[in-house]
Amino acid sequence: MKRGFVLMLAAAMALGMTACGGGEVSSEGRIGDTMETYFFDFTIDSASLTGEYAGRTPEPGNALLVVEVTVKNTYRESIEMYDTDFQLGWGDAEEDYCYPITTDPETYEELEPVGEAQLPGTYQLAVDEERTGELVYEVPAGQADFSIGYLEIFEDGTEEGDTGDAYFVYFTAREDTAASV
């Protein structure tokens, strides 16, 4: 299910980063705006680029983007959250997106967080529970303008599920000379 969701969000991000079209509703915001989805609210609190995060360095030609996000469960029962719920996009090319470093980009296998404030690949949110943490992405060096997208998926008995609304938060990341831990 996680891989199918990932592929559907990639398609939604491609639409969101280019022209709006189709019958799907999309909402957009900026840093500090609270996005209200069917299941939870989320706010991108800050975003910064760095060359190191808790001892991890990016591949040559890349940087690390550290995004602080606050998520609050507004649904009527506990929900399971995934790092891949929040896809990062930039540019207009089909391959201009990625997931946090807590998911292997080839296998979609969950990887351990490297920093204390980093959100894990999978976590539970109880009813009305709020959690703030960091999502860390490896991005092309020199890129500063990004969007984080979330696509609602409703279980309908199929592997893909039924898609709902899409939410995008657009921002310019600041350069950060201090590394997080």
pLDDT of residue 181: 45
pLDDT band of residue 4 (cuts 50, 70, 90) is: very low
Q: How do residues 11-49 score in pLDDT, each as one tens digit?
A: 444 444 433 334 468 899 999 999 999 999 999 999 999
Contacts of 179 (CB under 8 A, 6+ apart): 50, 51, 52, 53, 54
Between CA 164 and CA 122 the distance in angstroms is 21
What does the pLDDT average to over 63-88? 97
Distance CA 88, CA 97 (A): 5
Question: Is the Cβ–Cβ distance between 152 and 39 less than 8 Å?
Answer: yes
Q: In Å, how far from its chain's centre is CA 17?
A: 14
pLDDT, position 61: 97
Whole-number pLDDT of residue 128: 98
In the predicted structure, residue 10 carries a pLDDT above the cut 60: no
Give me the pLDDT at residue 160, please.
85
3-state secondary structure string across 58-100: CCCCEEEEEEEEEEEECCCCCEEEEHHHCEEECCCCCCCEECC
Backbone angles phi, psi at 31, to 5 degrees: -55, 135
The DSSP bridge pattern shows strands 174-175 and 40-50 to be parallel
Whether pLDDT at 149 is above 80: yes
DSSP H or E stretch at residue 13: helix 2-17
Overall average pLDDT of the 90-106 stretch: 94
pLDDT higher than threshold 70 for residue 168: yes
Q: In sequence order, what are the residues at sequence separation of 6 or more whose Cβ sits closer than 8 angstroms to the Cβ of residue 125?
A: 40, 71, 72, 73, 78, 79, 80, 81, 131
What pLDDT is recorded for position 2? Answer: 46
Question: How do residues 102-114 score in pLDDT, each as one tens digit?
Answer: 999 899 999 999 9
CA distance 139 to 63: 5
